[in-house]
Structure 1
Amino acid sequence: MKLLFDVGNTHTTIALTDNGKKFNIKRISTYSLQTEDELYVYLKMLFSENYDQIIVSSVVPNINHIFEFFSKKYIGKDAVFLNAKLYKNIKWDVRVPSDIGADRVANVIAAEKDYGNNAIIVDFGTAITIDVLKNGIYEGGVIIPGFGMMVNALFKGTAKLPKVELKPSDVFIGKDTESNIRIGVINTVLEGIIKVVEKIKSETEITSVIFTGGQSKIIMDYKKDVIYDLELGLRGIYYFYESTIS
């Protein structure tokens, strides 16, 4: 069994799998991780199965040492970390491939393997990312502040505006503060993303659009003509590991 870590800025998804297709998934707060021994205790509580390798996709470099220490201490092996430069099945046509976020690398790897050489991937997380895969080549993408980040900015930067539930509004003219914020943050950003995706589609002739990430669940009724794949990144982590042992 392999233990996968998708370390995000807010949450860490931990998944146990033996084939990269079915996952036993748990989620914890990223900054609840402080030492390798605390991680060991978490895992003992979360999983009863044994595992013999950990693979890490992390966008939080300052805690990567915890996984390194844990793997060496409790498994006796080095942890495997995602890095675009180490994955040779895709050409990374950007200035500095090693700067591509590991979460984006995982998404692109899984999209190429499961959906083909052409795809636009939108990942709704703490930040929202758009990635473009054309003819098996990673062409780059877009980074946008996430829904929660923008709502928190309004809450912290103003005297009276409240935090609101993250979900789209059914209308585009708000009658109260909450609906005003939801339209301004969720609907407006979504419409902007849809517009950007349409521009990318017209420039590249790519038709396959994949939405992923934890917050994509809140917009499934808003945008229905795309593929929703909430385990895309986890499969990408596993596929990356497969490529390192082949």
Structure 2
Amino acid sequence: MLLCDIGNTSYHFLDDERSFKESVGTFNPQNIQEKVYYISVNHAVNAEIANLVNWIDISSLINRERYYETMGIDRIAAVEAVENAIVVDAGSAVTVDAVKEGVYMGGFIYPGMKAMQKSYKDISPALDYSFNFELNLDKMPKNSQDAISYGYLKTLYTEVMLHNLPVILTGGDAKVFAKIFKEADVDERLVFKGMKKILQKADRC
């Protein structure tokens, strides 16, 4: 089964156990002849593949009443993969979603690492630092790099851990955030696991 998670910059495929990406700017979806089950947050790509009969949008198979109206399909797919966990998807934005006994409890959106670093730099060039993921979140910082790192990471860490749920990290920066969420599981294929569960519920696989 060929699955595809379409973002703003790439097509992320899972072909059985092989994962690979193609650029939105250069990849031609007509080159694939087999069935592709996909989700997408890219409106331009949606228009391009709308008439390709072998590309099957699975978003219509989801019970949207479990979620709020404007929630992204990629977040929903990740949530569908878990029963009891808080999912932290660390990408251009950091999304945090809580699930208890299979019920979606809600979530929030936090600036991604690059966006937050840029915001500090925009305030003052003196704050142009990368984040220190090795700092001790139990001690107040005494230098500028750790001060901005603490302000960003401690706030996120505290809010996530407050819910007393197992933490699952996914997304491009998951392994970096694992340095502060030391007990978390990193699952880079969580969205695909959710997509498979959606298809199984609909008897499509």
**Distance of 1:58 and 1:174 partners within structure 2:** 44
Q: Under a length normalisation based on structure 2, what TM-score does the superposition of the two structures give? A: 0.79
What corresponds to 1:232 in structure 2? 190
Aligned residue type for 2:15? T
Q: Where in structure 2 are the equivalents of 1:117-196 lying within 5 Å?
A: 117-155=83-121, 157-158=122-123, 160-161=125-126, 164-165=129-130, 168-170=133-135, 173=141, 175=143, 179=145, 183-184=147-148, 186-196=149-159
**Distance of 1:130 and 1:137 partners within structure 2:** 15
Of 28, 37, 40, which aligns to 1:40?
28
CA positional deviation for 1:237: 2.4
**Distance of 1:164 and 1:198 partners within structure 2:** 26
Aligned residue type for 1:135? E
Q: 1:154 to 1:130 in 2, by over 3 A?
A: same
Of 57, 62, 77, which aligns to 1:80?
57
**Distance of 1:163 and 1:13 partners within structure 2:** 32
**Distance of 1:217 and 1:13 partners within structure 2:** 21
Contact 1:168–1:187 under 8 Å retained in 2: no
Q: Indicate the structure with greater helix content.
A: 1
What corresponds to 1:53 in structure 2? 35
CA positional deviation for 1:242: 3.7
Q: Under a length normalisation based on structure 1, what TM-score does the superposition of the two structures give? A: 0.68
RMSD, aligned α-carbons: 3.0
Q: Where in structure 2 are the equivalents of 1:10-29 lying within 5 Å?
A: 11-18=9-16, 22-26=17-21, 28=23
Percent pairwise identity: 23
**Distance of 1:67 and 1:107 partners within structure 2:** 23
What corresponds to 1:204 in structure 2? none
- Whether 1:109 and 2:80 are equivalent positions in the alignment is yes
CA positional deviation for 1:120: 1.2
Aligned residue type for 2:56? A
Contact 1:110–1:233 under 8 Å retained in 2: yes
Structure 1 runs of 4+ with >4 Å offset: 161-167
Contact 2:169–2:178 under 8 Å retained in 1: no
Any idea what the Cα deviations from partners look like across 1:156-182, whole Å, max 9, x if unmatched?
Answer: x34635765455253663646xx25xx
Unmatched 5+ residue regions in structure 2? none
Q: Secondary structure at the match of 1:55?
A: strand
**Distance of 1:158 and 1:236 partners within structure 2:** 39
CA positional deviation for 1:124: 0.8
